[in-house]
Amino acid sequence: MRIMGNAYPNDAPAMPRMSLGRPLPQAALDDVSRILGRQLAIYTKACQSTIAEKVGLPLLDFKALEFIIEFEALPTGQIAHLMGLSPGGTTALINRLEAAGFVRRSRHLFDRRVIAIRPVKERCQHIPLLTEQVITDIVNTAARNNPMQVQAMHGFLLHCVHTLKNATLQWLETESAQSQSEEH
């Protein structure tokens, strides 16, 4: 089963382990990994809780909505895998999001037997604006750095997102294939 969202190209450039011709210290690499792998996730979850409250959704529903918005559409089975929910729990979650006007059901583009869940643009477009102050603070922090450093950070972060998104897509594809083989 294919995910519906726009995946990054598979030919993302490799990230060098050099800084101005010098190898990066292992401590710096470890720190960056810890920041991206744990701390960023923790603070993102805290931000999710705040936004979910502002939007008027339970946190679990809001997390599912974020997946649906990010991937532009998801089959119900993949939402279940991402959220760790049973099929019945997933249906209940989608029903709540649909009743609140955040999503709609439609047929999957590649497999008409599958139901895909899509965000309702008019209802979801304001959600990114709720993080506007954080975005402004990050932009101001970046503006205090050398433009070349910001460009390097940008490339590094794009590569990290590319890696995480592809790993997620691969996991979802594998899970979907395993689920389908178990059904037959």
Which range has the worst mean pLDDT, 55-59, 112-116, 117-121? 112-116
| pLDDT given at position 59 | 95
Is 1.10.10.10 the CATH classification of the domain at 35-130? yes
For 114, list phi and psi in degrees, rounded to 5: -95, 140
| pLDDT given at position 95 | 97
- Mean pLDDT across the stretch 36-43? 84
| pLDDT given at position 68 | 95
Domain boundaries, the chain: 35-130, 145-184
For 67, list phi and psi in degrees, rounded to 5: -60, -45
CA distance readout (Å), 10 to 1, 88, 102, 177 = 18, 35, 31, 21
| pLDDT given at position 94 | 97
Which range has the worst mean pLDDT, 35-44, 86-95, 168-177? 168-177
* Both structure tokens of 52: 């979910």
pLDDT at 138 over 90: no
pLDDT digits (tens, 9 = 90+) for 148-157: 988 988 898 8
Q: Let me know if 121 is exposed, middle or buried by CB neighbors in 10 A (0-12, 13-18, 19+).
A: exposed
Count of residues for the chain?
184
pLDDT at 54 over 80: yes
Mean pLDDT for the chain? 83
Give the Cα separation of 163 and 86 in Å (integer).
28
Which range has the worst mean pLDDT, 58-67, 81-90, 128-137, 156-165? 128-137
Give the Cα separation of 173 and 110 in Å (integer).
14
Quote the distance between the C-alpha of residue 2 and its chain's center.
Answer: 16
